[in-house]
Every structure is written in structure tokens, then in C-alpha cells.
């Protein structure tokens, strides 16, 4: 005998819980007690009162089924519809488990590939950094290129504060400098 909970019985017969309570109170339906002490209904009693049981789709099959036997084993008189529903649900659960295991293995493989590609990128970056560091060291050790003579003169001129024209003979400088800065300013203004 399969004894189910009140909620499961209402699913199997397609009636509300209140209908089951009303049928119990009117004496139309008899209840038993589950091992947990909660009320339950035998599936044979449900079939007697309501006819053929309505089987729910896989994933919502019979729950809280109590198989009463004398020796504690599975009763051979279990309703075949309940047994078929439970077997179908078990197969569905096994298929979901296999699918989830495959998904986990694929995800793990994808993570391994991602990790390997990131390691390769890091190694490439480390190599580039090493090359750049070596080039920096080479640049530090290269001797400065000798400057041309006119650059040296310009450097000297900049250090003394004189331009290249200032290296002209002193007489030429005096001729252009014969007048003071004030007279040159007046000439520009006029």
C-alpha cells in the first residue's frame, strides 16, 4: 500500500485539499497516518473514491510515498501507476545529473584554456619587458655623439651670453653699437 500526504493526494486526484477534508468529514474518504504522525491517504482509497489517478508530469511526480510492509522492504502490491511515475522521475533526475556533470566538465575545460591563454600572454609581456629593459641599459651605455664645431661654438656663445655675431671683430661691433639703446628706440618709434 502506498500512503501519500494530503498535498500529494490532492495533486493525484486533481482536487483541492479542502475537498479531501470535506470528503473525510462526510465519511466518503478514509485517512491513515504517516510514519511522521501526519495524516495521509492510501492511493487505493483515492482510486476507490475518485477513480483513476492523474499522474503529474515528470519532475512533479508523487512525493512522500510510504510503502508499508511487514518486513520493512518494498511492498509488491504498490500501485503500478505510482511506481511508474517514480521510475520516470528517477530516470529524469539521472539524465539531469549526467547533463550537469557534462556541463561542469566543459566549463572546467574552458577555464583551463582561459588560464593557459592568460599565462601565455603574461609570458609574452614578460619577454617584451625584458627586451625593453635591455634596450634601456644599452641606451645608458652608449657614448654621447660628438657635436659639430658650429654646435660647440653656439654652446660656447650661449655660455658667454654672446651671439655668433658677437665673435666679429671689435671694430664692427663698435660701429653698430655707436649709439645707445635709447636712440635706437627713438628711431623705431619715428
pLDDT tens, position by position, for the chain (190 residues)? 578 888 888 888 888 999 999 999 998 988 888 888 888 888 888 888 888 777 654 444 445 555 555 555 555 556 677 777 888 888 888 998 998 999 999 999 999 999 999 999 999 999 999 999 998 888 877 755 555 555 555 554 555 555 554 444 555 444 455 567 777 777 777 6
What is the β-pairing status of strands 2-5 and 66-67? antiparallel
Pick from 102, 107, 10: nearest CA to 56: 10
**Structure-block grid coordinates of residue 49:** 473514491
Contact at 8 Å (CB) between 4 and 20?
no
Amino acid at each position: 500500500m502506498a500512503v501519500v500526504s494530503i498535498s500529494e493526494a490532492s495533486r493525484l486526484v486533481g482536487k483541492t485539499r479542502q475537498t479531501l477534508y470535506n470528503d473525510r468529514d462526510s465519511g466518503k474518504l478514509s485517512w491513515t497516518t504517516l510514519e511522521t504522525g501526519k495524516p495521509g491517504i492510501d492511493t487505493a482509497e483515492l482510486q476507490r473514491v475518485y477513480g483513476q489517478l492523474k499522474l503529474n508530469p515528470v519532475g512533479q511526480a508523487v512525493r512522500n510515498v510510504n510503502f508499508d510492509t511487514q518486513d520493512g522492504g518494498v511492498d509488491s502490491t504498490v500501485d503500478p501507476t505510482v511506481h511508474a511515475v517514480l521510475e520516470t522521475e528517477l530516470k529524469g533526475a539521472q539524465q539531469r545529473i549526467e547533463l550537469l556533470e557534462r556541463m561542469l566538465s566543459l566549463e572546467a575545460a574552458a577555464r583551463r584554456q582561459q588560464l593557459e591563454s592568460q599565462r601565455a600572454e603574461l609570458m609574452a609581456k614578460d619577454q617584451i619587458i625584458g627586451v625593453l629593459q635591455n634596450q634601456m641599459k644599452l641606451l645608458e651605455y652608449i657614448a654621447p655623439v660628438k657635436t659639430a664645431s658650429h654646435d660647440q661654438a653656439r654652446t660656447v656663445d650661449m655660455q658667454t651670453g654672446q651671439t655668433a655675431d658677437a665673435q666679429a671683430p671689435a671694430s664692427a661691433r663698435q660701429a653698430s653699437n655707436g649709439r645707445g639703446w635709447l636712440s635706437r628706440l627713438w628711431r623705431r618709434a619715428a
